[in-house]
A and B are shown apart, each in its own frame.
Chain A
């Protein structure tokens, strides 16, 4: 951790490498984002999109390279709880909510608040928190499921709940892995609107295979292939790129 800011970027990845049993999943990956930016990341299966998120959130340690948060903090030394406390929130590819808890409790646990054992032991839900939960429920359209167990939600609703939990954390950066999987077209478009709406206040990285969804986001697109960035720019720019067509779009 150095005192000097070396970059203006909120998130700065440079020359990351990661091998799994000799297989290079991430190979010289460089990526950077400003605060408040909305970014889509696309690429074929196994390109390393999820692994990139794993490295940002301290789940996987890179073999080589730098990962800097806010120009100051070395993300490669932080664990999952640390990165969450720094302000990085994450939605998983496979929706993971706490199934034996109610929808409300899922949001309550995600809500920005003290996370220590003692604090949670003596914590009481405040009216402000209940109100915030109400707002979030309205946002993800789960108002009438407040007291239901998360296990009883549909796949799409679980995705929504997880997005709601992400917003409850009020993170500076949201990493959203395939949010539209299992959603209807209408739900997909609403998700795109929602993410567009929160960008600006939060930085958002969205991984998605659904090109209509990516178009709807209308943001800068980064294309990953074999663990490295092969193109970056507007959706029209990258769609015209021959390499991108060859490895991804033109399949």
Chain B
């Protein structure tokens, strides 16, 4: 099963991840600061953030690229995972907060709350938080998918509902009464598992954990998509009704990948929060979810490696461009998307492949690619 899942491209991808996991901490820790080879700590966290996005893109590609479910609300699952981790980090602060309350996070003291809300209990334990990182997005995806897929909501309608879902959550999380820190979100974290979040070593550790999570998510998605279930997913994407007439319960397959994908998105969010140092309701904003779709479309829908590359490339471009011309980013993103739709229907990776194919077989027209 694992062997079937690992073709050459996957092996190269995992190899690159491995090199990153070794090289990035090495360049940060072993090189003297200030030397040309030294990788500053902010860059380590920045790279870690990109890889969180890559995992998020892989998760979206599983449902959109392989099963045709265009979710415009995947940011919500990411944010829920991020909040679950954020809640744990808040509890870890303990009495080191500004108000030095041993139980209540600062924002609750500020709001004059006397007791810890029930849903904050248990988050002082790391293992509990880790379960919630998967459970919260997974349960939401299950509930949502259960109703949506059974009533056969598909296409644009489904996309609109997912967008509404993340928008509703954003409004909810903005409210102070919800108990998630309102529009400030959760921040001022001190440490994780006893390691100081500001230290270089912890940053490197989080980076390595992110690489491992991405590799795990990638291999899991590869196993799913290269199995017979994966063939059924592609069948659902291309001819949903035909798949039903073969006796497959399409809603079951959709629900399965949707929940798996939401959990992976949650994991990405959980790694994002400590590396960025904050999680707030803007992570739920509809625009964020649309951006994920653009990463996948640009990288190459239906190719997990492509999705990951798309996320990293676009995020890198965003970091650079927002540094130079902040106002231009949205236009650039929109422009990229239009160009990709027109000229790279199968994404960056698809285009590279197309060139290779034309070189090797100049006489024949390029054949349509099989679904991975």
Q: A101 and B234 in contact (CB under 8 A), knowing A90-B245, A117-B256, A165-B246?
A: yes
- Whether B238 and A109, one on each chain, are in contact in the complex, defined by CB atoms closer than 8 angstroms, is no
- Whether B229 and A120, one on each chain, are in contact in the complex, defined by CB atoms closer than 8 angstroms, is yes
CB neighbours of B248 from chain A (8 A) = 81, 109, 115
Pick from A89, A98, A110 the residue with the most CB of B within 10 Å.
Answer: A98
B231 within 8 A of A: yes
Q: A99 and B238 in contact (CB under 8 A), knowing A79-B244, A115-B248, A115-B249?
A: yes
- Whether A108 and B231, one on each chain, are in contact in the complex, defined by CB atoms closer than 8 angstroms, is yes
Interface flags, B237-257, vs A, CB<8A=1, else 0: 011011011111110110010
Kindly state the separation between the CA atoms of A110 and B367 in the bound complex, as whole angstroms: 24
- Whether A98 and B370, one on each chain, are in contact in the complex, defined by CB atoms closer than 8 angstroms, is no
- Whether A84 and B245, one on each chain, are in contact in the complex, defined by CB atoms closer than 8 angstroms, is yes
CB neighbours of A45 from chain B (8 A) = none
CB A61 to nearest CB in B, in angstroms, measures 14
CB A162 to nearest CB in B, in angstroms, measures 9
CB B23 to nearest CB in A, in angstroms, measures 35
B183 within 8 A of A: no
- Whether A100 and B246, one on each chain, are in contact in the complex, defined by CB atoms closer than 8 angstroms, is no
CB neighbours of A90 from chain B (8 A) = 245
Residues of A in contact with B, size category: 20 to 34
- Whether B232 and A80, one on each chain, are in contact in the complex, defined by CB atoms closer than 8 angstroms, is no
Chain B interface residue count, Cβ-Cβ cutoff 8 angstroms: 28
A151 within 8 A of B: yes
A122 within 8 A of B: yes
Choose among A80, A115, A125 the residue that contacts B241 (Cβ–Cβ < 8 A): A80
CB A142 to nearest CB in B, in angstroms, measures 17
Kindly state the separation between the CA atoms of A145 and B139 in the bound complex, as whole angstroms: 44
CB B297 to nearest CB in A, in angstroms, measures 18
Q: A121 and B229 in contact (CB under 8 A), knowing A116-B252, A149-B367?
A: yes
Kindly state the separation between the CA atoms of A37 and B228 in the bound complex, as whole angstroms: 34
Kindly state the separation between the CA atoms of A80 and B228 in the bound complex, as whole angstroms: 20
A123 within 8 A of B: yes
- Whether B247 and A169, one on each chain, are in contact in the complex, defined by CB atoms closer than 8 angstroms, is yes
Choose among A98, A108, A152 the residue that contacts B242 (Cβ–Cβ < 8 A): A98
- Residues in B337-372 with C-beta less than 8 Å from chain A: 367-371
CB neighbours of B253 from chain A (8 A) = 117
CB B248 to nearest CB in A, in angstroms, measures 5
Kindly state the separation between the CA atoms of A169 and B234 in the bound complex, as whole angstroms: 19
Pick from B229, B239, B246, B368 the residue with the most CB of A within 10 Å.
Answer: B246
A96 within 8 A of B: yes
A105 within 8 A of B: yes
Q: A108 and B228 in contact (CB under 8 A), knowing A98-B239, A100-B370?
A: yes
CB A126 to nearest CB in B, in angstroms, measures 12
CB neighbours of B252 from chain A (8 A) = 116-117
| Closest chain B residue to A102, Cβ basis | B370
Q: A101 and B247 in contact (CB under 8 A), knowing A116-B252, A122-B1?
A: no
- Whether A120 and B232, one on each chain, are in contact in the complex, defined by CB atoms closer than 8 angstroms, is yes
A226 within 8 A of B: no
Q: A121 and B228 in contact (CB under 8 A), knowing A149-B367, A151-B368?
A: yes
Identify the 3 closest CB pairs spanning chains A and B, nearest first. Answer: A84-B247, A80-B244, A120-B229
Q: A100 and B371 in contact (CB under 8 A), knowing A122-B227, A169-B246?
A: yes
Kindly state the separation between the CA atoms of A64 and B330 in the bound complex, as whole angstroms: 56
CB neighbours of B250 from chain A (8 A) = 81
| Closest chain A residue to B253, Cβ basis | A117
- Residues in A162-194 with C-beta less than 8 Å from chain B: 165, 169
CB neighbours of B227 from chain A (8 A) = 120-123
CB neighbours of B235 from chain A (8 A) = 98, 101, 109
CB B151 to nearest CB in A, in angstroms, measures 12
A57 within 8 A of B: yes
Interface flags, A121-161, vs B, CB<8A=1, else 0: 11101000000000000000000000001011000000000
CB B168 to nearest CB in A, in angstroms, measures 29
Kindly state the separation between the CA atoms of A136 and B340 in the bound complex, as whole angstroms: 41
